[in-house]
Every structure is written in C-alpha cells, then in structure tokens.
Structure 1
Amino acid sequence: MIVLGCNGFTRVSEFFSERLGATGINKHYLLGHDAAAALLIDGRLVAAVEEERLNREKKTTDFPAHAIDWCLKEAGITFDDVDLFAFPWNWTPQVLDEIRDGIRASALPEAAKTRLVGDMADLYDQVVGHEAILADFEARTGHRPDRAKVRFVPHHLAHATTGYYLAGMKDAAFLVSDGRAERYSTLAGEIRDGRITVFDDTVTGAQYSMGTLFSSLTRFLGFVPNNDEYKVMGLAGYTEPPVPNPLVERLLRLHDDGRYSFTQPLRTDDLHSHDALFEEYFGPFSDSLAYKARVAAAAQQMLNVATAHQVRHLEKRTDLDRLLFEGGVALNCLNNTPLFEGSRFTDMQVSFGASDTGITIGAAAHAWLDDPGTGPEDILAAASAPVTPYLGPAYDEAAIEEALEGFAGRVTVSRLDDDEIVEQVARLLTRKVVIGWFEGRVEHGPRALGHRSILANPGFGDIKDIINTRVKHREPFRPFAPLVLEERAPEIFEMGRKTSSPYMTFVFPVREEWRDRIPGAVHVDGTSRVQTLTDEGTPRLTALLRRFTELTGTPCLINTSFNVAGEPIVCSPTDALNCFLGTEIDHLILGNHLITKN
C-alpha cells in the first residue's frame, strides 16, 4: 500500500493577511505553516521533505507542490500508484458549526462576532474544508484524488501518530499540545496496537492554548510567532523567573481534572489581545535584554507548570509506562527534561517531527494503520525498520560537481575519500574555524541533525560570538548545541534517566568539570541542548567526532543549522555554496569535496 501525506494551503497566508492582518512578523499565524509531504510504502517511510527546503521560503504555508513532486519521483511512482491520500486536518461541517457556536457564545462585541463567524465560514469554504483542500490539490498538481482514496486525519491525531510511528509503534500514552488544531489546542490519551483512544476530559479549547499564548509572548518581545519561540527559550536562561510570577499566579488556572485555563481567554482574531495584560504584569515594553529575559523566564515557568500538571493527571489515567509528547509545545526542549524527570514514566520520546513539520508523516501513518488491509504482521514488519530523520533529497557526486562548475573561479576544490575527509576536517576543527558540513539526505524537522550542519570546536570561548555574528547573522544571546557520542554523554552531561537524545529535543545540565572545557556549547545557565550520535545513525559524522576527540581530548562538537537567519536550512549543493560564499564560513564539505574560498 502506498500512502501520500501532505500539508499546506495555497491561500491560507493570503486569507489570514486579508482577514486578520497577519502580515510581517505575524505571517505564520495559526495554521498551514511547515508545509510538507511524506510517502509510506507498505508502512515504511521512504521519503519526506518540507516544502521550505525546496521553494526556499522559510516556514512556508504554501501548497507542497515541490515536496509532493519530489516524493513521487524519489519512489519512481505517479499519482495513479497512490492508494491513499492523507491530509492532517479534518474540518467538517460539524467542526465549523461548533466553532461558530463558540464565537456566538463568547464575550466579543456583536459586530466582532458577526465578522468572525463570517470569516470562519469563508475559511472553511475557501481553504480548509474537504472540498477546498481537494480543489487546491487538483489546481496545483493537475490530479483530482478519487474521494474513496482520501483520508482527512484530525490534526492532533496526526501529531500523536507521528510520535507513535517514529518511536517504533510501541504502546504508549501521549500528550499533544500546540497552537490549535481544528478546534482544540491540547489533548491526551493512549495508543495501543495502533488504535488511538483520546481521553475526552483532557481536551482543551483553542482559547486556552499554551502554544498560542507562548507565541503571543514571542510576538510581544518582537520576535516572529510560530517561528522564534526558541529565542524566548534562549533568553529564559539569562535570569530566574520573577517571584511571584504573574503568568502563573494571575493568568494560569490549574483544574482538578488535569486541564488548565486562563483568567483572560485568548482571542485568536486579535493578534494583540494580551499585550496590555503583559505590560500590566511586566511594565511597559522595553527592548533591553533584562526586560526580555524576565518575560521569557516567566513564560518558560508558566509552560513548565501547565504541562507538568497535565502529565501528572495523565499518569493516573494510564497504566502504560511510555510517554510520547508531540505538537509545537513539545519543541520547548527546556521543558522536556524536567517534565520527564518529574514523571513516573520510564521513557519519554519527542520526535524529530514533533511540530507541524511531521504531521504529514503522522497523517500517512494514521491512514495506513486505520486501513482494514493493514494487519498486525504488517505493523510488526514496518516497526522493525530503522527510524531516521534523513528522509529528504540527496545529491550524488555528479550533482555536486555540476553545482561546483557554476562557482568556478570563486572556490578551490579538493576531492578526497571518506577517510581523508574525516582526518582533514578533524584537524581543521582543532583550530578556531567554522565548517559547513553537507552529506546524504536532508534532515526532516526544524533541527539540523548532522547532514546540513555548521560545525565548530566548542573549546574556544568566543566561538559562539563568531558563529552568531559572522555566519548566522543573528542575536548574540543564542546558544549552540553540542554533538556527543551516545556512550560518553552521561560523562559530560547530567542526563538523568535519559540515555540518548538524538534529535536535540532535551536540554541537560553540563557537568561542572566540563563547562570550562566546552564553553562554546554551554548556555549561560550551564545547560546544553544535546544531540547524541551513534555509528548506526550517522556513521561519518560519528567517525569525525571520534577522530576530533582523539586529537583534542574534547568529546563534543558544536552543531548548528546550515543556514543564515531568515532562510531555510540548505538543501542542494547550490544552496550550500551560496550560503558558504555569503558568510564567513571557513571551509565547506560537499560530500567528498573539501572547498575553500579563493
């Protein structure tokens, strides 16, 4: 069975721009961001790529025409070969009616209610309803899927299935939390033998969305909501949260059933609905680091308190010992470690596709698992396949050499074998240099996991400033993640009950004796967002780290995404060369080519 999952809408950005003024830093507001496509064949994930990597528009909401086309070509198939088309949204007439009833029952002025009810009806008819999605698909691809082959998967169930599929399809409890799905912002439940049970009393409406509230705080601090929340996480490390914390004491309300609410509900039609409240709590907005850090620390504590409350009650509802945490809120890696350590669960997984980057995988997997033709033996066979985030386009030597021809005279190229690449790059990294590392298939998800990465030696105290200002062109307070061999990670980091962190979704304290030895990879609060490596997962990068450790005694390398601020992670050799020549990256590895600037 072949299942194609896709996420993205041709008109969603235009619609929110026209109706809600969601432009500029608010352009990723609400839904449709992280457009992508994924392809499952007989339950095995064979291809997945985000549209932004191909159309070069960061966090694009556009229909994933390039991503779909690449997935089909990668598998050597056409639309006629696809058995199921899966979409990670299920806007039904009932959902629309419930949304409109909620608007009419709200405290909004009557004129605002009338306008918003009309906007939601138009959104349904023009963008997100079933017929609108299929019409969009046909307009952009020339193919109209047979309605019998189409599956509309509720957004949060797509998130839950993403985690389940990528964690090896073992029975697990789950918590999903993000900005909003069709109606809700968070829910919890179980997955047993591929079947999802939602605990209905855990469902929280969009007006109490922790994801949207955190995004509102992100926007209040001058950053891009649904994109720059990691900047707020970085700022939170610069100070302790205020005591008392007004976001916890005055805005957040925890309920006995495990849910939470806000004393002032969110207005998703008003991007600035809580700005006055934030200024009441923290004083008039200031662009100073101290002000932003205080707000960020308060926001981080609020998120930690709310999700811990949810997990404590989920523990009482399930006898399962594995927890899956998915949705955009799960990318808040500062929260994940204390959330797991404070729980009774013996394992907690946050996938590389936890945000909307991964829901095409979840939608496709959900459609496949839910199909009557999928049996237990099929699930067992698919679960035995290794899980990898390296799912996007790869470029062979011929493609790399063709790209290099376009930069003749601007770069010097040395062709090396694998062992020579490892040896020479390891020796280069003993110095204060920055290296672009490009190999294999593109990673899926928001983190660079070693195939499209920028590498550096964390032993230099000023290397963070060098990368932030000369390469990434971004704020100086931003931290960098260390690569570390999985077997050595507990020696350097206080891993607690975690034994691995392959996707940079957990933050750990750096042991005191190592902080001065890897200062470039230690945040101001003494922590690091760790990526653990194994020979099976990333063999050449792991070999490089082993050789670098032999040469220096330093068991870590800095790893950050191969891009500059505002641009997607590079995908093609040409993308990499343009980024290399547009920054102060010292050397570039393209497959087996070592490249320097003339």
Structure 2
Amino acid sequence: MIVLGYNGFTRGAELFGRLYGATGVGRNLLVGHDAAAALAIDGEVVAAVEEEQLSRVKKTSDFPANAISWCLESAGVELGQVDVVAFPWRFSPTVAEEMIARITAADMPVAAKFDALRRTGELYTDMLSREAVYGDFVRRTGHALDPNKLALVPHHLAHLMCGAYLAGGDDAAFLVSDGRAETLSSVMGELRDGVVRLFDEGTVDMASSLGVAYGRITRYLGFVPNNDEYKVMGLAAYGPPPQHNPLLEHVVRLHENGSYTLSIPSDIGAYYALFDDLFGGDSEKREEFDFRVKVAGLAQHMVEAVTAHQLRALTAASSLDTLLFEGGLALNCVANTKMLERSSFTGMEVSFGASDPGVAIGAAVYTAGLRNLPADAVTTPYLGPSYDERQILDALAQYADRVEWQEEPDTSVVAERTAQLLAGKTVVGWFQGRAEFGPRALGNRSILANPAHPDIKDIINLRVKHREPFRPFAPVVLESEAPRVFEMGKKTSSPYMTFVFPVRKEFQERIPGACHVDGTARVQTVDERQNPALAELLRAFTARTAVPCLLNTSFNVAGEPIVCSPRDALECFLATEIDCLVIDRFVVTKKSG
C-alpha cells in the first residue's frame, strides 16, 4: 500500500492576509504552516521533506508541490500508483457547524458576528472544506485524483501517529498540545494495541490554547509568534525561577480533570495592555533585556505548571509507563525534561516531527495503519534529498571562481581531516547524505564547531548565523558518552534535541561553548546505526582533542531555511564567515582575494 501524506494550502497565506490582516511571515503561521510531504510504502516512511527546503520560503504554508514531486520521484512512484492521499486536517461539516455556533454565541455586536461569519465562511469554502482540499490537490498536481482516495485525518491524530510511529508503535499514554487543531488545542489519552482512546474530560478548547498564549507573549516581547517561541525559552534561563506568577494568578484556571482555561484577549492591543498591567511593562520597558528575561521566565513557568497539571491527570487515568508528547508545545525541550523527571512515567518520547512538519508523516502512517516496528528497526530523521558525486561536482564547478576543494579518498580520511580543522576555532559547514526532516539540524545539514572555546557562541551567532547573541547552541555527543558528560536523568538517549540536561560540573569548563547560561544543554545523542558519518567524526574529534562533543547548529542563517542542496550550502558558506565546508568527501575552502 502506498500512501502520500501532505500538509499545506495554496491559498492559505492569501486568505489569512486578506481576511484577517496577517502580514509577512505571519500569513503562513496560522493553519498549514510547515508544509511538507511524506511517502509511506507498506507502512514504512521512505521519504519526507519540508516544502521550505525546496522552495526556500521559510515557514511556507503553500501547497507542497515540490515536496510531493520529490517524494514520489525518490521512491520511483507515480501519482497514479498512490493508493491514498492523506491530509492532516479534517474540517468536517460537524466542525463547520461548531465554528458557526461559536461565532453566534460570542459576546460581540451583531454586525461583528455577521462579519466573522462572512470571513469564516469564505475561509471554509475556499480552503478548509473537503471540496476545497480536493480541488487544491487536483489543480496543483494536475492529477485527477479519485475523490475516494482522499483521506482527511484529524490534526491532533496526525500529530499523535507521527510520534507513535517514530517511537516504535508500542503502547503509550499521550499528550498532544499545540496552537490549534480543528477546534481543540490539546488532547490526552492512551494508545493500546494500535487503538487510540481519548480522555475527553482532559481536552482543551482552542480558545484556551497554551501554545497561542505563549505565542502572544512571544509577540509582546518583539518576536514572531508561532515561530520564535524557542527564543523566549532561551531568554528565560537568564533569570531566576519566579517566586510568584501573575499569569497563573490572573490568566490561567486549572481544572481537576486535567483541563484548563486561559483568559487572554485575542486583540493585539488588548493583550498588550493586559501584559503591561500584569508585568509592569510599557513600550520602553519591553525593549529592556532584564524585563524581557523576567517576562520570558514567567511564560516558561506557565508552560511548565500547566503541562505538569495535565500530566498529573494523565498519570492518574493511565497505567502505562511511557509518555508520547507531540505538537508544537513539545518543542519546548526545557519543559519536556521537567515533565519527565517530575512525573511517574519511566520513559518519554518526543519525535523529530513533533511540530507541524510531522503531521504529513502522521497522516500517512495513520492511513496506512500503524504497526509495531521490529525491535531492531532504525528510526531515522534522514528522509530528505541526497546528492551524488556528479551533482556535487557540478555545483562546485559553478562556484569555481570563488572556492577550491580537495577530494578525500574515503569517509575515515574525511573524519580525520574535519576533526583536525575543528580542533581549533574553525567553523565547519557539514553536509552529508540525506537531509534531515523537521526543525532541527541533526548532523547532515549542520554547522559544527569546537565547544571548548568560550567565545565560539558569539562567533557563530554574530558572524555566521546573524542572530541574537543570547541564543544557545546544542552539543552533539556519542550516545555511549552522553551520561558521562550530562546528567541524563531517566533518559538514556536524546537523538532529536528534544530534551535539555544539566552539564556535569566537571565538564562545564571543558565545553563552555555548549553550555547555556544556566549550565544546561539541549543534547543530541548519536550512535553508529543512525548516523555513521557523524559518529565517526565525533570519535576522531574526541581522540584528537579529548573534548567529548561538538557544537551543532543548523546550516542556515537567521530567516532562511536549512540548506538542502549543494548549491544552497555553497551560497550559505560564501555569504557567511563559515571557514570550511565539507560536502560528502569534498573539503571546500574559499579562495583568497
């Protein structure tokens, strides 16, 4: 059985811009963002890529025409051979009726209700309905899809199935929490023997979305909501834990069944006024670093308190030992670690597709039928495009007036040569194999550096990434070495940078470039099976330097997608102060002058 999953709407940005006044990248961040495609054959995901990596439009919500074409081509499949096309949103007539009812019941003038109904009606008819989704697919692909082959999968179920598949398909309790799905923002329950059971009493309406609340504070602090929340998470570490939190006192109400209610107005001016009142802010204070740190700390504390409340209810209702956490909130790796360590769960999994890129995988897996993976199966995030030697040489030839390169004989020599470069302050662009899927660079499209240098973060933030100086970087470490360097708690591995761990005191001075201001690090563990090239490099680097990890950040600059092709890598290399580029077996340097 061949199933194609995808996420994205052709008219999303246009409609949200015209109907709701969204501007800039914000037009892509409401529904359908992180457009992507994934292909599952006989229950196994064989290809997946985000549209932004191919179109080079960051956070695009457009129909993923390029991603679909690549997935099919990479597997040698034509659209006519696809058995089911799975889409991770189901705005059914019942959901539409609920949308209408919410508007008519709202406390607003009659004229405002008619306006809201008009805009919602146009959005539903032109974008969200089954007919609109089907028409969009046919127009953009040119393929007359049998309407019966289109499967609409509820958004939160697609999130869950992505996590369940990548965790091996075993039984687990689950929590899904994001900005919004069709009408809800968070659900919890159990997955047993492939059957999903929702705990209805723990569901949270999208009007009380924790993700949206965090996003509004993100905007209040001058960042882009639904995009820059990780900056707020990083800022929070610069201050002490709050002694009291006005958000929990005045905005959040926790209910005994594990649900909660959040009271934040939707109008920007209104919630800015609310936050100014709660935090003691104004337009000038919002520019001050210490004030931003304080507010970020309160927002982070709110997330941790609310998710802990949800877990208390979930553990009371489920006897299962493992937790699956998916959705945009699951990218809050600081909260993830605290959730696990403070709960009775013995294990917790957060996938590399936890946010909306993953729903393309989840929709495909759900439609194909989730099945338990063999115990020796290798789950991999490296599902995107790769490039052969001829393609790499062709790209290098196009830049021959600006770069020079040396071809190494094999991977072991590449590892030794790269380790030699990294032993100093050399910043290396590392481009190997298939592109990783999801928002994190996991070692195939990465910028690497030596974390032993205290100023390496400043060098990369300012001279390479062109981003805020407070932003931390993640260390990548061999899985076998990780417990020696980091306090891993209940975790034995962290392959997708979805957990944060304290750096052991004896290593904090040895890897200062990988330590955040609070002495923690967002760790990526690597083993030989999942990424042999990166594992070989880590062994060579540690043997040469006695430094047990490398600093790893995404191969891009602020505002750009992670590089995908050799040409992307060369463009980024030449536009930044990256010192050296390693593409497959080719070590590339810039020509002087």
1:406 is aligned to 2:398: yes
Q: Secondary structure at the match of 2:481?
A: helix
1:526 is aligned to 2:524: no
Whether the 8 Å CA contact 2:445–2:564 is kept in 1: the answer is yes
- For residues 456 and 359 of structure 2, the distance between their equivalents in structure 1, rounded to whole angstroms, comes to 35
Instruction: Quote how far apart the aligned CAs of 1:25 are.
Output: 5.4
Whether the 8 Å CA contact 2:134–2:150 is kept in 1: the answer is no
Match of 1:279 among 276, 281, 292: 276
Alignment CA distance shift 1:381-1:293 (3 Å): closer
Please tell me the residue identity of whatever aligns with 2:394: E
- Alignment RMSD (CA, Å): 1.2
Provide, for residues 497-537 of structure 1, a one-character-per-residue CA deviation record: whole Å limited to 9, x for no partner: 11100000000111111111101000011110000111111
Whether the 8 Å CA contact 2:4–2:38 is kept in 1: the answer is yes
- The answer for the alignment partner of 2:454 in structure 1 is 461
- For residues 384 and 192 of structure 1, the distance between their equivalents in structure 2, rounded to whole angstroms, comes to 21
Q: Name which of structure 1's ranges 486-495 and 50-59 shifts more when overlaid on structure 2.
A: 486-495
- For residues 500 and 15 of structure 1, the distance between their equivalents in structure 2, rounded to whole angstroms, comes to 43
1:449 is aligned to 2:466: no
Match of 1:590 among 583, 586, 593: 583
Provide, for residues 266-313 of structure 1, a one-character-per-residue CA deviation record: whole Å limited to 9, x for no partner: 53xx45542111111112142121111111000000000001100110
1:516 is aligned to 2:509: yes
Match of 2:469 among 476, 479, 483: 476
Whether the 8 Å CA contact 1:28–1:226 is kept in 2: the answer is no
1:133 is aligned to 2:149: no
Whether the 8 Å CA contact 1:357–1:445 is kept in 2: the answer is yes
Instruction: Quote how far apart the aligned CAs of 1:382 are.
Output: 6.8
Instruction: Quote how far apart the aligned CAs of 1:242 are.
Output: 3.6
Instruction: Quote how far apart the aligned CAs of 1:363 are.
Output: 0.3
- Unaligned regions of 5+ residues in structure 2, if any? none
- For residues 107 and 29 of structure 1, the distance between their equivalents in structure 2, rounded to whole angstroms, comes to 26
- The answer for the alignment partner of 2:485 in structure 1 is 492
Whether the 8 Å CA contact 2:53–2:561 is kept in 1: the answer is yes
The residue correspondences of 1:109-188 to structure 2 (distance < 5 A) are 109-188=109-188
Alignment CA distance shift 1:519-1:428 (3 Å): same
Please tell me the residue identity of whatever aligns with 1:111: A
Q: How many matched pairs? A: 587
Please tell me the residue identity of whatever aligns with 2:561: P
- For residues 156 and 268 of structure 2, the distance between their equivalents in structure 1, rounded to whole angstroms, comes to 23
Please tell me the residue identity of whatever aligns with 1:280: D
1:337 is aligned to 2:337: yes
- The answer for the alignment partner of 1:392 in structure 2 is 384
- For residues 506 and 393 of structure 2, the distance between their equivalents in structure 1, rounded to whole angstroms, comes to 45
The residue correspondences of 1:84-95 to structure 2 (distance < 5 A) are 84-95=84-95
- For residues 586 and 108 of structure 1, the distance between their equivalents in structure 2, rounded to whole angstroms, comes to 58
- For residues 266 and 258 of structure 1, the distance between their equivalents in structure 2, rounded to whole angstroms, comes to 23
TM-score (norm 2): 0.97
Whether the 8 Å CA contact 1:213–1:266 is kept in 2: the answer is no
- For residues 320 and 435 of structure 1, the distance between their equivalents in structure 2, rounded to whole angstroms, comes to 44
Whether the 8 Å CA contact 1:28–1:225 is kept in 2: the answer is no
Alignment CA distance shift 1:511-1:383 (3 Å): closer
Instruction: Quote how far apart the aligned CAs of 1:265 are.
Output: 4.4
Whether the 8 Å CA contact 1:135–1:144 is kept in 2: the answer is no
Instruction: Quote how far apart the aligned CAs of 1:424 are.
Output: 0.7
- The answer for the alignment partner of 1:373 in structure 2 is none
1:563 is aligned to 2:561: no
Q: Secondary structure at the match of 2:562?
A: coil
Whether the 8 Å CA contact 2:218–2:228 is kept in 1: the answer is yes
Please tell me the residue identity of whatever aligns with 2:249: E
Provide, for residues 454-473 of structure 1, a one-character-per-residue CA deviation record: whole Å limited to 9, x for no partner: 00000001000000010000
Instruction: Quote how far apart the aligned CAs of 1:225 are.
Output: 1.1
- The answer for the alignment partner of 1:28 in structure 2 is 28
- For residues 45 and 341 of structure 1, the distance between their equivalents in structure 2, rounded to whole angstroms, comes to 31
- For residues 381 and 446 of structure 1, the distance between their equivalents in structure 2, rounded to whole angstroms, comes to 24
- For residues 84 and 367 of structure 2, the distance between their equivalents in structure 1, rounded to whole angstroms, comes to 7
The residue correspondences of 1:311-460 to structure 2 (distance < 5 A) are 311-369=311-369, 379-380=371-372, 385-416=377-408, 417-460=410-453
Q: Name which of structure 1's ranges 137-146 and 327-336 shifts more when overlaid on structure 2.
A: 137-146
Alignment CA distance shift 1:485-1:381 (3 Å): closer
Whether the 8 Å CA contact 1:237–1:297 is kept in 2: the answer is yes
Whether the 8 Å CA contact 2:171–2:192 is kept in 1: the answer is yes
Please tell me the residue identity of whatever aligns with 2:131: E
Please tell me the residue identity of whatever aligns with 2:335: N
Alignment CA distance shift 1:362-1:384 (3 Å): farther
Whether the 8 Å CA contact 2:29–2:61 is kept in 1: the answer is no
Provide, for residues 132-186 of structure 1, a one-character-per-residue CA deviation record: whole Å limited to 9, x for no partner: 0111111111013212211100000000111101100001111000000011100
Please tell me the residue identity of whatever aligns with 2:323: L
The residue correspondences of 1:532-543 to structure 2 (distance < 5 A) are 532-543=525-536
- The answer for the alignment partner of 2:81 in structure 1 is 81
Whether the 8 Å CA contact 1:134–1:144 is kept in 2: the answer is no
- For residues 535 and 112 of structure 2, the distance between their equivalents in structure 1, rounded to whole angstroms, comes to 57
Alignment CA distance shift 1:463-1:19 (3 Å): same
- For residues 161 and 182 of structure 1, the distance between their equivalents in structure 2, rounded to whole angstroms, comes to 17
